[in-house]
Amino acid sequence: MGNVIPHSVFSEFDINLFKSGKHYRLYEKLGSHPMEVNGEKGTYFAVWAPSAKAVSVVGDFNYWLEGDHKLNVRWDASGIWEGFIPGVKPGTKYKYKIHSHNQDIKTEKADPFARYSEQPPKTASVVWDKTYKWKDKKWMDTRKEKNSLDAPYSVYEVHLGSWKKNEKNEFLTYEELSKDLVAYVKEMNFTHVEFMPVMEYPYDPSWGYQLTGYFAPTSRFGEPEGLKLLIDTLHQNGIGVILDWVPSHFPEDAHGLGFFDGSSLYEHPDRRRGYHPDWKSLIFNYGRNEVRAFLISNALFWLDQYHVDGLRVDAVASMLYLDYSRDEGEWEPNIYGNNENLEAISLIRELNEEVYKSFEGVQTIAEESTSFSMVSRPVSIGGLGFGMKWMMGWMHDSLEYFKKEPVYRRHHQNDLTFSMTYAFTENFMLPFSHDEVVYGKQSLLYKMPGDEWQRFANLRLLFGYMFTHPGTNLLFMGAEFGQSSEWNFEQSLDWHLLQYEFHDGVRQLVKDLNKFYRDHPALFEKQFSSEGFQWIDYGDHENSVLTYMRKGHKEEDDLVIACNFTPVPREKYRIGVPRSGQFKEVFNTDAKKYGGSGSKNTIRKTSKKSWHGKDHSIEVTIPPLGMVVFL
């Protein structure tokens, strides 16, 4: 290999943007980029390491020896080291050997901007330059309407490593998933998939939430083009793709971002703001311009290079509060004396503004568990700028209610009705995520009380209630067929359960609920507006019955919904309705094909008997532990 040839792809304008934290396409400049310089093929390397006094590229092309291929530091105080090495080809494994001014420390680091990495537990970066020819133009041209806030949005959350494995208990490849997973998601009528982090991570039990390769899809399932094929195939089948994205923290692994150039480069130097006690990981320095540019560039990278339709931002609450998971004396207030992390809030707003400005038809979704206000409101009116926010309170209250034996539920109806007091303060997504089925919390099915029939009926009712509650929906894989055991990332879902009638009944129910949601505008046109919901009666505690309406733009689309949270059928149950005429049952979670008792309603004609403040009413049967919808 030849020596390092001085070369740069940075203009003065690039450097000024980088220093000011406004360079949002850093992946086009930093990292390793195969190219031709002066007629020679090789690779250009660029890395940010301002505390270094020397940086060498070491790899399988130079026997991992330091000093043979030293990069040149730029003269402009940007802290960027760069150079072109002739003969270094795509597929070459490499790292940066960084000799720091700080106490003469040496670190050996993976490239923060690498597009590909060795498969863990190996840790080297890989020079990568393959091209992929996308075939999803139709989706990209029309996705704005598919991803809008008044469109159906039903998400299947997937951990790629454990959705399904092959006969040898090995991971499926991206290519295999592009066949099996896509066909399944399409059959189940989900509108979107959400992948738990696909960026490179060293430790399987972290499920991908401790990242070391922010720009590299994990090599566990194949090459980067495989992930592009998976996303492309989903798009060609009309399915949107959301990626989990983790700007909240990163691990201390030796090859990762921590203590990168012998200094606290990416992490905040004050451990009260730079270390996460819950996850024993490091927290980004959100006030450092170059770190802000790194994070925003990374978010845009996945939208740009991988055509993703949304980012679900992990652990937003931990970013917003300086005292998150900290006791008194373990944190320092901001300049106003309170607990908000002003630098993180500023970054989030800047990120969301840039995402929505640069990419049409995408969404950012906040996993945020507190009552921080205006998370999903525009930055222009003082919000954080997310498109949606997870409704963690609804999830918690609903599961607490459903865990109770039906005989006690009449004392706790407020657990279900309380969500409507704040349902329209944000654009809420209703999540039953992976977090609810791990660490001894049991599967959704086994949270339910009663005998086998009642457990499954409760689960079907929970899903029926979820899909008719205002907001968008998210289900973690396995929930859709009533997985019995907790999720285990080391093994496949229990697909064998589908041979049993009750499990297959739940799967059929979720499939039909997804279709029902997509087919009925009353469930999505005003899903974030109080105009889209109206209580009929939330006060029938004694019978544990809720009745309500969902409304679309047209009155003829309005739905009347009744839920019975006890195993006692409610026969000749009178409901006030908004108009005279006939009402037809259009969905019933108690149908025999779902494993229910088969209770159903024929067409119901209204009577002029006033009820629930309405001039007209109907008498119906609400099935045991069932939800029924009338149109």
Other beta carbons less than 10 A from residue 381's beta carbon: 8
Distance of CA 11 to the CA centre of its chain: 36
Cis peptide upstream of residue 247 (ω within 30 degrees of 0): no
Pair of tokens at residue 180: 């099996």
- Determine the average pLDDT of the residues in 73-101: 96
- Active site annotation includes 225: no
pLDDT tens digit sequence for 463-484: 999 999 999 999 999 999 999 9
Q: Which of 367, 368, 397, 426 is catalytic?
A: 367
Classify domain 12-126 at the CATH topology level. Answer: Immunoglobulin-like (2.60.40)
- Active site annotation includes 367: yes
Q: How far is CA 375 from CA 364, 369, 383, in A?
A: 11, 11, 6
Q: With H, G, I as helix, E, B as strand and everything else as coil, classify residue 603.
A: coil
d(CA 621, CA 602): 10
Task: Kindly give the pairing relationship between strand 604-605 and strand 533-540.
Answer: unpaired
d(CA 484, CA 503): 9
**Confidence class for position 104, pLDDT limits 50, 70, 90:** confident
pLDDT tens digit sequence for 396-444: 999 999 999 999 999 999 999 999 999 999 999 999 999 999 988 999 9
**Confidence class for position 219, pLDDT limits 50, 70, 90:** very high
pLDDT of residue 171: 96
Q: Is the pLDDT of residue 291 over 70?
A: yes
Written as one letter, the residue type at 160 is L
Q: Which of 157, 261, 290, 314 is catalytic?
A: 314
pLDDT of residue 403: 97
- Determine the average pLDDT of the residues in 488-516: 97
Give the orientation angle of helix 224-236 with respect to helix 137-146, to 10 degrees.
60
pLDDT tens digit sequence for 45-77: 999 999 999 999 999 999 999 989 999 999 999
Distance of CA 469 to the CA centre of its chain: 20
d(CA 489, CA 125): 25
pTM of the model: 0.96
pLDDT tens digit sequence for 264-289: 999 999 999 999 988 999 999 999 99
- Determine the average pLDDT of the residues in 495-522: 98
Domain borders along the chain are: 12-126, 530-630
Mention every residue, 6+ apart, whose C-beta is less than 8 A from residue 64.
58, 95
- Determine the average pLDDT of the residues in 180-186: 98
pLDDT of residue 103: 82
d(CA 127, CA 597): 60
Question: Closest by alpha carbon to 153, among 404, 527, 498, 561?
Answer: 527
**Confidence class for position 1, pLDDT limits 50, 70, 90:** low
- Determine the average pLDDT of the residues in 323-340: 94
Provide the percentage of residues in the chain whose pLDDT is more than 70: 100
**Confidence class for position 102, pLDDT limits 50, 70, 90:** confident
What does residue 200 show for φ and ψ, rounded to 5 degrees?
-65, 135
Q: DSSP code of 222? A: -
d(CA 74, CA 630): 69
CB burial of residue 558 (10 Å; 0-12, 13-18, 19+):
buried
Q: Hey, what CATH class is 530-630 in?
A: mainly beta
Other beta carbons less than 10 A from residue 397's beta carbon: 18
Provide the percentage of residues in the chain whose pLDDT is more than 90: 97
- Give yes or no on whether 12-126 and 530-630 have one common fold: yes
Question: Closest by alpha carbon to 88, among 128, 131, 53?
Answer: 128
> Sign of torsion, CA 297 353 309 341?
positive
pLDDT tens digit sequence for 562-590: 999 999 999 999 999 999 999 999 999 99
DSSP state letters, 405-432 = -GGGGGG-THHHHGGGGTTTSS-EEEEE
CB burial of residue 527 (10 Å; 0-12, 13-18, 19+):
buried
Per the CB < 8 A criterion, the answer to whether 296 and 228 are in contact is: no
Pair of tokens at residue 545: 């019955």
d(CA 562, CA 590): 12
Per the CB < 8 A criterion, the answer to whether 237 and 182 are in contact is: yes
Q: Is the pLDDT of residue 136 over 80?
A: yes
Start-to-end Cα distance in the chain: 73
d(CA 55, CA 99): 6
Pair of tokens at residue 276: 């996460």
Mean pLDDT of the chain: 96
Per the CB < 8 A criterion, the answer to whether 402 and 625 are in contact is: no
Rama region for 189: left / alpha / beta (φ>0; ψ in -120 to 50; rest) = left
Question: Closest by alpha carbon to 307, among 385, 351, 365, 360?
Answer: 360
